[in-house]
Amino acid sequence: MKDWAFGLTMTLAGMGVTLITLYILTLVIRLMDRLFPYKEEKKKEGN
Amino acid sequence: MSWSDIFSALVSGFSHLTWQSGFLILLGCVLLYLAIAKGMEPLLLIPIGFGVILGNLPLAGLAASDEGGVLNIIYKAGILTEIFPCLIFVGLGAMIDFGPMLANPSVLIFGAAGQFGIFLTLLLALSLGFARQEAVSIAVIGACDGPTAIYVTSKYAPALLPAVSIAAYSYMSLVPIIQPPIMRALTTKAERQVVMATGEKKISKRVKVLFPVVAGLITMLIAPMGAPLMGMLMLGNLLKESGVVGRLADVSSGALVNIVTLLLGICIGSAMLAGNFLQWQTILVFILGLVAISLDTVAGVLLGKLMRVITKGKVNPLIGAAGTSAFPMSARVVQKEGQKANPRSFLLWHAIGANTGGQIGSVMAASVMLAILAGMGIPPLS
């Protein structure tokens, strides 16, 4: 019984934290992309 | 000293050979055959296979457990201290391109689904009577991530290290065989034929450089127990993306990772001894590892189906299978299966994104497990 409680705690916390962390990362990536959007690099003259 | 003493000294290797060690030497030869003739993960299976042979030679003193032996010293210094998995992660970080994931961050969510099998396998292992520390170590095979499995197992259940590491690396190489039948069984042909937009959105250099720093900080603050792995992964990626330390990036993704892989493989092989490997427990570890990876694939594909419904048909559910961290094998499998169903479908870009998400997800899942074990005050097994 104790092992099942341990297993379920691990499953809920593990999946929950992994899911939330990855979701936070998606938000952070979107934010960074807005702050620093891709711009075509200008070719340096003389190259 | 008589001639008979000299003779018995010369054949002592043969006279001390047991059928069990002979069987494992044969197994080592099979691993070498698979690596050389069949091309299965040769970088790993050659050192592991040869390590098995060396470790099981009688009187040679080359088993990882032979106190004072050369491989024992490397085993203790590199594996029991968890240095090798961390160094491999530096190399892995320097090899990974997070670009596809940064271009389409919603695929990160597949990296979470790809870890579901870990936790279901944990419950299964507990119900089969494994100790908690052992159950966690076995479950992490489902991460499809050799270094993470070794890191967790060497910390909490070192006796299972040979079985867990061999299972983890074997299944990583068997991903092209394990995943396709599950993917086909869970999807209809119409679902597999979905063509996803191939915009290949470009990402600024600043975002690519900032990502390993910011993501590293966030994940390590949430789960500090996994910081040695996550920190090294992100360091390796920063070396690559910064563009100012090409030599360090090259060394990390080349010489460093090659040397560590060689030493890690030979040490793991030499730890596979007849006494601790030819047991029912080892067979169970292999079966549970297979269950874990299969369940990861099931969860990923099912999430893919859900995403297809939510996005009104824009997502091909196959990319869910790439949420494991078997990088880049899973992504290649997804691309191949997608092309089989529809030659106009190019899923590789999206699948690589999900695959890198799986890499981060597996370290996160392992970190959370380690944090809970530590939080509950569960001590490592000796």
pLDDT in tens, B198-244: 766 789 999 999 999 999 999 999 989 889 999 999 999 999 999 99
Tokens at A4, concatenated: 């099942």
Model ipTM value: 0.86
**Facing A17 at nearest CB: one of B108, B127, B223:** B223
**Nearest-neighbour CA in chain A from B372: distance (Å):** 7
Asked if residue A44 has pLDDT above 60, the reply is no
Distance CA A10, CA B116 (A): 12
Tokens at B104, concatenated: 């389409």
> Which of B213, B303, B368 to probe by mutation at the A interface, max A CB count within 10 Å?
B368
pLDDT in tens, B244-296: 999 999 999 999 999 999 999 999 889 888 887 778 888 899 999 999 999 99
Chain position carrying tokens 């992100």: B234
CB-CB under 8 Å, A36 with B210: yes
The arithmetic mean of pLDDT across residues B126-141, rounded, is: 93
Residue of chain B whose alpha carbon sits nearest to that of A13: B368
Nearest to B252 by CA among B81, B97, B86, B87: B87
> Which of B127, B369, B373 to probe by mutation at the A interface, max A CB count within 10 Å?
B369
- The phi and psi torsions of B185 (rounded to 5 degrees) equal -65, -30
Q: Is B253 helix (H, G, I), strand (E, B) or coil?
A: helix
Tokens at B162, concatenated: 């040979």
Residue type, B355: N
CA dihedral angle for residue B105, residue B110, residue B111, residue B117, rounded to 10 degrees: 170
Q: Is B325 helix (H, G, I), strand (E, B) or coil?
A: coil
**Facing B203 at nearest CB: one of A11, A18, A38:** A38
Q: What's the confidence (pLDDT) of residue A42?
A: 58
| Separation in Å, CA B346 to CA A15, B316, B352 | 30, 10, 11
Measured between CB atoms, does B116 come within 8 Å of chain A?
yes
**Nearest-neighbour CA in chain A from B271: distance (Å):** 29
Distance CA B264, CA B88 (A): 10
> Which of B104, B203, B229 to probe by mutation at the A interface, max A CB count within 10 Å?
B203
Is-above-0.80 flag for pTM? yes
| Separation in Å, CA B332 to CA B91, B106, B107, B350 | 21, 19, 16, 11
Chain position carrying tokens 């297979």: B290
Measured between CB atoms, does B222 come within 8 Å of chain A?
yes
| Separation in Å, CA B279 to CA B113, B195, B275, B308, B370 | 32, 47, 8, 44, 27
Q: Is B326 helix (H, G, I), strand (E, B) or coil?
A: coil
For residue B298, name the pLDDT band (cuts at 50, 70, 90): very high
pLDDT in tens, B81-103: 889 999 999 999 999 999 999 99
Is there a contact between B350 and B196 (Cβ–Cβ < 8 Å)? yes
Is there a contact between B204 and A39 (Cβ–Cβ < 8 Å)? yes
Nearest to B135 by CA among A28, A9, A45: A9
Nearest to B187 by CA among B328, B298, B89, B55: B298
